[in-house]
């Protein structure tokens, strides 16, 4: 009989480590940061306690930027779908991530996501245009070279299928 402990140890280490930390703010590292972090911070399920959401602050440049993001998720109905109706919300990046150096440590990334909201009785799928503001951060071992300062989403002109 095979033990699941070795596989479990690998999975736990992937979710608990800073293996995806970047140490230089350049176009490639920011594209990687956005590609890996955005789906993690913008996907929600009712198994995640609201207190667990606080762990996502590590992707943001400031506590205020993170708080503003969570408030936007309340305002757009995401938290209602997840915590009141037991649904799941997740985002999948479906375009190339374009990165722009706005100088003085400020960056911008733009891309398209497929936003899916799966409820017990309904499912919605829409494409959204996403613009993320980023700022260079002082480096510490295992930290990210940038943090999110803002996230703006709006319906995309591109149509998404399920």
Does the predicted TM-score (pTM) go above 0.95? no
Q: Are 145 and 137 spatial neighbours (Cβ–Cβ below 8 Å)?
A: yes
Token pair in block for residue 107: 């960056």
Place of tokens 């299928």: 161
Q: What is the pLDDT of residue 149?
A: 96
Q: Which CATH class is domain 21-155?
A: alpha beta
Give me the sign of the Cα torsion angle 59, 65, 70, 76. negative
Q: How far is CA 2 from CA 5, 6, 13, 94, in A?
A: 9, 10, 20, 38
The structure tokens 């985002």 sit at: 91
Q: Along the chain (162 residues), what's the average pLDDT of each consecutive run of 10 residues?
A: 40 40 72 94 92 92 95 93 92 95 91 91 90 85 82 89 62
């Amino acid at each position: 009989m095979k033990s699941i402990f070795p596989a479990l140890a690998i999975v736990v280490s992937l979710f608990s480590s800073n293996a995806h930390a970047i140490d230089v703010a350049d176009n490639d590292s920011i594209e990687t940061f956005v590609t890996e972090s955005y789906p993690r911070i913008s996907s929600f399920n009712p198994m995640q306690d609201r207190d667990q959401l606080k762990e996502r602050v590590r992707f943001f440049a400031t506590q205020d930027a993170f708080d503003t993001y969570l408030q936007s998720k309340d305002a757009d109905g995401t938290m209602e779908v997840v915590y009141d109706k037991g649904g799941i919300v997740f985002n999948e990046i479906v375009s190339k991530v374009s990165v722009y150096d706005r100088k003085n440590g400020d960056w911008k990334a733009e891309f398209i996501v497929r936003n899916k909201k799966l409820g017990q009785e309904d499912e919605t799928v829409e494409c959204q245009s996403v613009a993320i503001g980023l700022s260079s951060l002082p480096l510490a071992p295992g930290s990210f070279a940038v943090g999110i300062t803002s996230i703006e989403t709006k319906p995309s002109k591109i149509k998404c299928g399920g």
